[in-house]
Structure 1
């Protein structure tokens, strides 16, 4: 009598263990872009972990990190001090031992420690580039540029957030062409639009009794909110009654508030700081303004397009021209030109048909920017690196 041979079930392929590193979980575009990648990776193929140098702040919206991603950190402190560096690094080494791939989620200290850990452990490191470093390096200490040139050529792969950012990076850092890959930033448009349907917070209801120009970003020189405030003052002087709402925190808060006061527009400019759900405010705005001096591939602009916000953006190095296709899907104006910015915003608020047309163009562009394509590229890279 023949006995049937036992056939072992096929083994389930082991998941690729990926450790993403960030300094902390802030509210900026870098953190949002990393969280979007984490949320989109197939949990059946990838075991993901997020390492922060600092404990996430209670206000940091940890719910943006998907539940299937484990979160660990190097210290319980919220504020960085150089004496903490060995502690961060030792904790990172412990976590990196268990990983197949280390992803430096941002430039600077996160990239430095990730690169050192990868070298010591023999693990491949993938670096992420979020800025146009040709412009950004002019605002940074020289050691930042030296760090780029020292660290990134030693990484296995480098992912730039856009084609313009990749070109600027290649002009500064000697990396091999096969090391550098462009995987554009992306957003989950459906999720952004659901958040946009939430009611306005109580404090914002009086602000929206008039047309609102909205801007979102860190209160730093890069974002050029000083130019935007000057354009708002010009519009108010021309007789266009409206409000300017700037969402974000940063080192220039007091300086920008002083500028508002000097221009006499205290009653029409609002800077409430961090806002948990900016999308509800963006969706109801008459126009979204991006006044930056440089960018990478700005997440907030992708979110504005998904919400159908009529967009006015400066034609700054890297990002906006790539996303808006040089003005096909929004209005582009020169940098450092409050009058041009005021004229573009004024036309949107004055002309309902024009505003609706820009809103429809924004929606169409958002549909063209596929998250699926970017996630397939990420999964392919992490599987083969």
Structure 2
């Protein structure tokens, strides 16, 4: 008899296609079949190929359907449950958790990717009402602790963490060598390159990074800052580079598909976010054995601890000091950092490490025994 699992995702925009693939990988070599359902987004054959599921369904929900009580979407998931008789569901982000939890008797593992998901009172009440069939995961210990703080009446065993993971061997096989990657992106051969990857958005705080780079420019000879991504702040960020006199030193690459392939082009990876769960882009930089600098927010702090450099959120002067520090690392110092990164990967972020932790969670084991 088939044992089906529902993997319910808000959409497949970056980085959530990678997340869908990560969670499908939890079921490798088991007797479970993964049915991945994307609430938003039209059918896409490339997504089907990349998400690693046994079946993929696209609901292509409208913005109107995503608002309010979401009755139409709940009805569709109930119909799928009737068809597949899911043993349990994994739901990413709050709207997916809300929809899946309205399927009668369906055990739902809800995954929170940022802090504050259960801060609103109505969400606290919702989670408490559905607590019998709900196991909540944060993508870092910091997010887990934030959920526990919000839902203090929950049993701690029902609120756990599960780190994001990558197939590091596969990622590394696809990453281009330094010179080829620079050539592919039309980047200068000999400059020292700092890189930031992410949406051009307030949460990613590229303003602090640009200010830091400008503040340290006299101590960063022969260096450039590369910003990869698109977003609503693009014009504002470009204006800031002009205002600070670093237009010729900052290159905006725009959106580059599968950017992880080109990460070896760079010398230091910088993540300046004000909030993160556990960023996939940082793990991809780890895969490229990059020296990394990250802001001390949520999951960043856990990931970068003892494996890179950090700075207080929004502090461009402290970030400037870290930029200068990484520029002047010698080869032995870099290799020492790379060794720490690789040890951290093997302990926490490989598919096998995350899979082992997932299947050992007491609340899940108790559910599967029923």
| TM-score for the superposition, normalised by structure 2 | 0.85
Q: Which one has a bigger Cα radius of gyration?
A: 1
Q: Give 2:142's aligned residue.
A: 164
Q: Deviations over 1:122-166 (max 9, x none)?
A: 211111121232xx78xxxxxx72343133331421122222211
Which segments of structure 1 move beyond 6 Å, counting only runs of 4 or more? none
Give the 3 Å change call, closer, same or farther, for CA 306–239 of structure 1 in structure 2: closer
Query: Map of 1:298-317 to 2, 5 A cutoff?
Result: 298-316=279-297
Q: CA RMSD for the aligned pairs?
A: 2.7
Give the 3 Å change call, closer, same or farther, for CA 146–63 of structure 1 in structure 2: farther
Report how far residue 34 of structure 1 moved: 3.2
Query: Map of 1:82-121 to 2, 5 A cutoff?
Result: 82=65, 85-97=70-82, 98=84, 99-107=86-94, 109-116=95-102, 118=103, 121=104
SS in 1 for 2:114: coil
Residue pair 2:10, 2:39 contacting (<8 A) in 1 also:
yes
Report how far residue 187 of structure 1 moved: 1.5
- Consecutive unaligned residues in structure 2, runs of 5 or more: none
1:122 is the counterpart of 2:105? yes
Looking at structure 2, the residues matched to 271 and 63 of structure 1 have their Cα atoms a distance apart, in angstroms, of 30
Report how far residue 62 of structure 1 moved: 4.7
Looking at structure 1, the residues matched to 66 and 239 of structure 2 have their Cα atoms a distance apart, in angstroms, of 36
Q: Give 2:275's aligned residue.
A: 294
Report how far residue 54 of structure 1 moved: 2.2
Q: Give 1:173's aligned residue.
A: 151
Residue pair 1:287, 1:311 contacting (<8 A) in 2 also:
yes
Looking at structure 1, the residues matched to 29 and 44 of structure 2 have their Cα atoms a distance apart, in angstroms, of 26
1:281 is the counterpart of 2:267? no
Query: Map of 1:236-385 to 2, 5 A cutoff?
Result: 236-316=217-297, 318-325=298-305, 328-353=306-331, 354-369=333-348, 370-379=350-359, 384-385=366-367
Q: Give 1:39's aligned residue.
A: 25
Looking at structure 1, the residues matched to 17 and 314 of structure 2 have their Cα atoms a distance apart, in angstroms, of 27
Looking at structure 2, the residues matched to 164 and 279 of structure 1 have their Cα atoms a distance apart, in angstroms, of 25
Looking at structure 1, the residues matched to 182 and 40 of structure 2 have their Cα atoms a distance apart, in angstroms, of 30
Report how far residue 289 of structure 1 moved: 0.7
Looking at structure 1, the residues matched to 71 and 107 of structure 2 have their Cα atoms a distance apart, in angstroms, of 21
1:182 is the counterpart of 2:161? yes
Q: Give 2:123's aligned residue.
A: 148
- Consecutive unaligned residues in structure 1, runs of 5 or more: 1-13, 138-143
Residue pair 2:176, 2:262 contacting (<8 A) in 1 also:
no
Residue pair 1:41, 1:379 contacting (<8 A) in 2 also:
no
Q: Deviations over 1:267-316 (max 9, x none)?
A: 22223332222223222211011111122222222222222110111222
